[in-house]
Amino acid sequence: MALQISQKKGNFYLNGKLNNTTSRFFIVYFEHNLQQCKDVTINIDNVKEISKEGLDAISTLTAIALKNDKLFSVTGYGCKDIYDHFNEINVA
């Protein structure tokens, strides 16, 4: 299943897989939205798979947001796994 993105009340909802096939589209799409908005919040409740490339894409967008004084956040089921992944990187 491809990655589908919808928007409702300023939040973006992902549905599908965030992997090596969809991560480039994900970065380009949200990089554009970060240029247009002060903050971007994505919900991953309906994401079926997040691969290492997907985590790298989230990391890339976080770095872009920080560089441009924007807010980029991830909400939804599975966020603890993402949080733990980034904490492991920061500890090492």
What confidence tens digit (pLDDT) does each residue in 1-59 have? 699 999 998 899 999 999 999 999 999 999 999 999 999 999 999 999 888 899 999 99
In sequence order, what are the beta bridge partners of 5?
A: 14
Residue 34 covered by a domain: yes
| 75 inside domain | yes
The CB density around residue 5, as the number of other CB atoms within 10 Å, is 16
Angle between helices 52-67 and 23-36 (to 10 degrees): 20
**pLDDT at position 76:** 86
Residue 49 lies in a domain: yes
51 within a domain of the structure (yes/no): yes
When divided into structural domains, the chain yields a total of: 1
Q: Which of 36, 31, 34, 41 is nearest to 9 (CA)?
A: 41
Residue 19 sits in a domain of what CATH number? Answer: 3.30.750.24
SS3 1: coil
The pLDDT of residue 23: 95
Amino acid at 77: Y
Q: Is 92 within a domain? A: no
Domain contains 90: no
Tokens of residue 60, six digits: 């890339």
pLDDT for 77 equals: 80
Residue with tokens 């441009």: 68
88 is a domain residue: no
Structural domain harbouring 65: 4-83
